[in-house]
Homo-oligomer: A and B are copies of this chain.
């Protein structure tokens, strides 16, 4: 199976229980790209976690060996080796040499950020040389600009100094924003932030892992539907 190559058609997700029949046109159950994407991510998460778990288990097993006991190694389960990669792999646009050529030249003309109209034109033109979308063009210019800027900054601010600080801060000296705003940004307590703030959600994460949404035992999902009512988040979930 290869839904890796997602096409975008507009497919409104309508209930297609028994195969929909609309306007005399039969349609099948489809998933929107977005849905596919979500699924893909979910699987990717599982894949990663499994990988990590396996690693961990291996290490533990090793230790366990020393201790004497040992449990089976289920991680060899062939199930894991299925074509998950195909699903989890997302493909991305790659400009053809010709397209790149054109893009570069446009970029070199110095006409900074192309307007949307411009983007359209460019896209149109480039599509003669391969698949491309406006988004691609837009992103390309964004990235191009950002990176050339960055490169410059790096080049100029390369005064020998302690690395760790410089690489991020000196690059864009103006970036430093004081967190004196009405609300606290999390930049200040970075350290503590990163270290501690997981705890509250560990439980939720565990649900994700342990619950049976996927195995379909309870089929009861939508725990968060609690939030459906706009007014009372106070329920402190």
Q: Does A146 contact B (CB under 8 A)?
A: no
A8 to chain B, nearest CB (A): 3
Q: List 6 A-B contacts (CB under 8 A).
A: A8-B14, A34-B183, A47-B215, A51-B210, A106-B230, A195-B214
Contacts of A88 in B (CB 8 A): 164, 168, 190-191
Known: A5-B17, A53-B209, A97-B204. 6 other contacts (CB 8 A): A3-B31, A12-B13, A35-B191, A60-B64, A125-B237, A131-B186
Contacts of A128 in B (CB 8 A): 200, 236-237
CB <8 Å contact, A60 and B71: yes
CB <8 Å contact, A31 and B31: yes
Q: Which residue of B lies closest to A125 (CB)?
A: B233
CB <8 Å contact, A207 and B194: yes
When A and B form their complex, which 3 residue pairs have the shortest distance between CB atoms, in order from nearest?
A: A8-B16, A46-B46, A7-B20
A66 to chain B, nearest CB (A): 7
Q: Which residue of B lies closest to A31 (CB)?
A: B31
Known: A190-B90, A223-B60. A31 touches B34 (CB 8 A): no
A202 to chain B, nearest CB (A): 5
A152 to B11, CA, bound (A): 14
Contacts of A40 in B (CB 8 A): 214, 216
Contacts of A93 in B (CB 8 A): 17-18, 185-186
A121 to chain B, nearest CB (A): 5
A219 to chain B, nearest CB (A): 7
Q: Which residue of B lies closest to A38 (CB)?
A: B191
Known: A91-B17, A227-B105. A33 touches B29 (CB 8 A): yes
CB <8 Å contact, A171 and B27: yes
Known: A75-B53, A84-B42, A193-B222. A205 touches B16 (CB 8 A): no
B44, B162, B176: the one contacting A199 at CB < 8 Å is B44
Contacts of A124 in B (CB 8 A): 159-161, 233
Contact with B along A144-169 (1 / 0, CB 8 A): 00000000001101011110101111
Contact with B along A48-73 (1 / 0, CB 8 A): 11111111110111011011110100
